[in-house]
Structure 1
Amino acid sequence: MQDLDGKVAFVTGAGSGIGLGIATALAQAGVRVMLCDINKAALDAAVEGLKATNADVDGVLADVSLKDQLQSAADATLEHFGKVHILVNNAGVGGGGDYGTWNDPAWRWVIGVNLMSVVWGFEIFGPLIESHGEGGHIVSTASIAGMVALTNPSYDVTKFGVVALSEDLRPKLAARGIGVSVLCPGVIRTNILESSRNIPDRFQGQIPSGPIEGPGTEVLKAVTEAIASGIDPLYVGELVREAIEGDWPHIFTDLQFEPVIEARFDAIKAGFDRIRGRTPRY
């Protein structure tokens, strides 16, 4: 999509962080943007801030881990803007617990927000983008943890899933005039460590949300400090805007984790090397 001016975008998790950075960068390019978030206060502030710059934006409240709410948000977008060209599946949460500490509600919450909302985003918005015949683009936010397991099981699993889904659908949707990119950000200055503030009522009291104590305290402190000095979300938004214009398959934000990913690929190749020259038994 070379000319973004006048196009319409729907961005989830747009009340703060990467989502707001993307919404801002798109609005600055002349895109009309529907911001979607579960946090009303953050959403209202984001919409008000962008409108103050004369951006053509609006907001819709939704818990994207519930398919019917995402569908309602899509309906509201069509009612307000008439069509959609760009979908940004950005909403995401951390947490979920490590081995020995997780529980079913935590898995359902993290999978619902991080992965199923992306699945439903493609399902709901794909046909809407196809319908007007003007082409479009879908960007889904995974993580560098979607390329190499770095955090905790539920988060890593969902982010690997977003990468797989995006790579699978990219050639299929290209034939329908829709570009597909997956965003794998590194350490970005966001509120990801405060995800528990948005735990839905149906999971309240079932998902541990207190501070980490004991051996994990120092790790949490280090991660908190890294995120506080992380990359500006608006810079990420500008990369996403460029990726949409250039139809990038993968969007990375920096080179910090490149050696870690290369080491993973080397380990995978070593697995093939171990069986090279052997004849399979049938």
Structure 2
Amino acid sequence: MKDLAGRVAFVTGAGSGIGLGIATALAQAGVKVMLCDIEQKALDSALAGLKTTNADVSGVVADVSLKDELARAAQATMDAYGRVDILVSNAGVGGGGGYGAWSDASWEWTIGVNLMAVIWGAEIFGPLMERGGQGGHIVNTASIAGMISGSGNAYNVTKYGVVAFSEGLRNELAPRGIGVSVLCPGFIRTKITDSQRNRPDRFAEADARAPTALEAQWIQGIRDRVEGGIDPLYVGELVREAIEDDWPYIFTDPEFEPVIEARFANIKAGFDRIRDRTPRKA
């Protein structure tokens, strides 16, 4: 999709952070952008800032963990612009704790926002792109945690799921003229560590416990890294380039490349251990 000017994009989690960075970069390239966010105040602020640059942008509030609300937001996009060419399923939440700190509510919330909303996004917006007859592109935000995993928490599980979903979807949609990229950012300056501010009441935890001292130290370390992270607008510029050149993977920096290489080495070692063995017959 070399010429983005005049195209229409729908971006979730667009009120701040990576979503706003992507929306800004696309708007600067002449794309008409529908910003979607669960926070009305953040959305209003983002729209006001973009409109000072004469960007053609609109906004819709939606909780993307509810399929009906995502479908309503898609209809709002069609009502406003009559088409959609680019979907950026970016909304995400951090949470879910490690072993011993799990809860059903945290799993359901994290899976709903981070994974199911990505799946529903393709289900809802893919046919709209096909109907437009001019191809399209989908960008799904995972995380570097979708390539490496420090624990079995819900966040990491959902991000692995987004990577797998995007890889498979890319193969399925290529013949239909729709590209698919998966964004795996490292530490970016966002509000991901404050995700609880947008946790719906239906995912409330009746028996939520305070983090242990070790957990609190780990959380603070993540918060510090995020606060000192990469500018979201830079990520937006990478995403714009990825859409133009149909990148399958979008990384933001090489910090975790050695960790990924070590994981691949462990996987290869697993094959090496059984390479010369003869399977038993049933």
TM-score > 0.5, shorter chain as reference = yes
Instruction: Summarize deviations over 1:89-125 as a string: whole Å, max 9, x none.
Output: 0000001121111111111000000000000000000
Q: Is the 8 A contact 1:19 1:90 kept in 2?
A: yes
Match in the other structure for 1:275: 274
Match in the other structure for 1:239: 238
Match in the other structure for 1:39: 39
**Separation in 1, partners of 2:170, 2:34:** 24
Instruction: Summarize deviations over 1:210-252 as a string: whole Å, max 9, x none.
Output: 6x44112222222211111100000000000000000000000
Q: Is the 8 A contact 2:108 2:203 kept in 1?
A: no
C-alpha RMSD of the superposition = 1.2
Question: Percent same amino acid among aligned pairs?
Answer: 67
SS in structure 1 of the partner of residue 213 of structure 2: coil
Match in the other structure for 1:76: 76
Match in the other structure for 2:115: 115
* C-alpha displacement of 1:64: 0.3
Q: Does 1:27 align with 2:27?
A: yes
Distance change >3 Å, CA 44–CA 209, structure 1 → 2: farther
**Separation in 1, partners of 2:156, 2:177:** 30
**Separation in 1, partners of 2:233, 2:152:** 26
Match in the other structure for 2:260: 261
Match in the other structure for 1:202: 202
Residue 274 of structure 1 aligns with an amino acid whose one-letter code is: R
Task: Using the TM superposition, name which of 97-106 and 181-190 deviates more.
Answer: 97-106
**Separation in 1, partners of 2:97, 2:103:** 8
Aligned pairs for 1:1-282 (under 5 A) are: 1-150=1-150, 152-206=152-206, 208=208, 212-282=211-281
Residue 128 of structure 2 aligns with an amino acid whose one-letter code is: L
Task: Using the TM superposition, name which of 196-205 and 122-131 deviates more.
Answer: 196-205
Distance change >3 Å, CA 152–CA 51, structure 1 → 2: farther
Q: How many residues align?
A: 281
* C-alpha displacement of 1:201: 2.1
Distance change >3 Å, CA 131–CA 206, structure 1 → 2: farther
Residue 7 of structure 2 aligns with an amino acid whose one-letter code is: K
* C-alpha displacement of 1:171: 1.6
Residue 55 of structure 1 aligns with an amino acid whose one-letter code is: A
Distance change >3 Å, CA 151–CA 6, structure 1 → 2: farther
Residue 203 of structure 1 aligns with an amino acid whose one-letter code is: F
Distance change >3 Å, CA 209–CA 195, structure 1 → 2: farther
What TM-score do you get using the length of structure 2 for normalisation? 0.97
